Structure 1
């Protein structure tokens, strides 16, 4: 079974800004009903919902809380109907500036745990909250957001990369378990994006270096990464699950 994107009801976590807002806008552009989840970026999420029109609405919830996530799914279901598609994009507070990140000799477990709480626990909460409705429908699309730093760990983002690697493992084990229910689970892994709030701290020279070393000779935009998310939600990907698609202009060959 597959549904065209225009018939899907999509929850995008962490959609108030950055890549999440681009993903929400991409789904809305294709006619889906879009729940713009935010934790603290209320003004940005509400502004995006207004921009996208009646088929989009902002919903507050902290993905780290199972109660919040269950409430989110209940509120989305009451407003739009049961979600068919979830995109776990939420990111713990993070700045993509290698010079400002803790090296191994100073890295604390608290820093690691903060990333795991949002990346891994948040994904688990959202999958568990959305799974019953997807199982009843015999259709579901789960898309997680990873990183090309798995293959190319050129900056000391130890906490971020480890959390995303754990999320990739959950993506694959979830794909194996949920496949018989008609639910696919896949990951999109971008590189540094030009530009989001999180990457705004990246020195301009770093963007230039990445562009020079990328086959397409430019840095991927949030909108380009968002379009790849649409592929996994679309009927074109109905036989694809458990995959990690790298979307970085060819910087890393996966």
Structure 2
């Protein structure tokens, strides 16, 4: 059964009470939500609804925005792709951090913050972090998994951005494996190793067997049949009774006036 968007099995009772009451718009609850983000990073859970509530508080109260918490929310959203979590989170961030159009340049960033004294002076590092996480999300959403890992490993900043998210790489590998399992019945072990960034054959075999429950047959990884990857034909028919066209047929035989 699919969990509703605003539900989370791991959500504490006090967070649920805030989300279901008027306190979700109270700036004093910002620290509570921030602590909850830290908890999600540590115990590998994800509560999109609560994280969006925190970003909405940041939107209403720009002076409370915490760059590290914001990037942690985006990093956590990467671990649940494909889902709208990342794009929804991104839409609530300040305009000068968006990776679209001229607003993403450093010059416009400075002017945007200087034009509104209520917005804290955001460093170029924060904006760059948003851009890099957005790029990673684009690669995942477009199924460019090998390029995702090569990009992720190309800059130490990526590792710094996800350092607070426990098991980030493993969580992403699991999500990639889920998507592979939906589309393939068998796949080259070398290709899968690139997509999962598991260059050691022993590590690949262990992940495939223990985590995915798949079978490695020489140079090929075989994926069991499931509802998504099973090739099956569908015959769709529609019954059209004569009575549905009775009036048309009757009028065809009527004598003209």
TM-score relative to the length of structure 1: 0.29
Q: Which has the higher strand share?
A: 1
Question: Which has the higher Rg, Structure 1 or Structure 2?
Answer: 2
Higher relative contact order (CA 8 A, sep 6+): 1
TM-score relative to the length of structure 2: 0.28
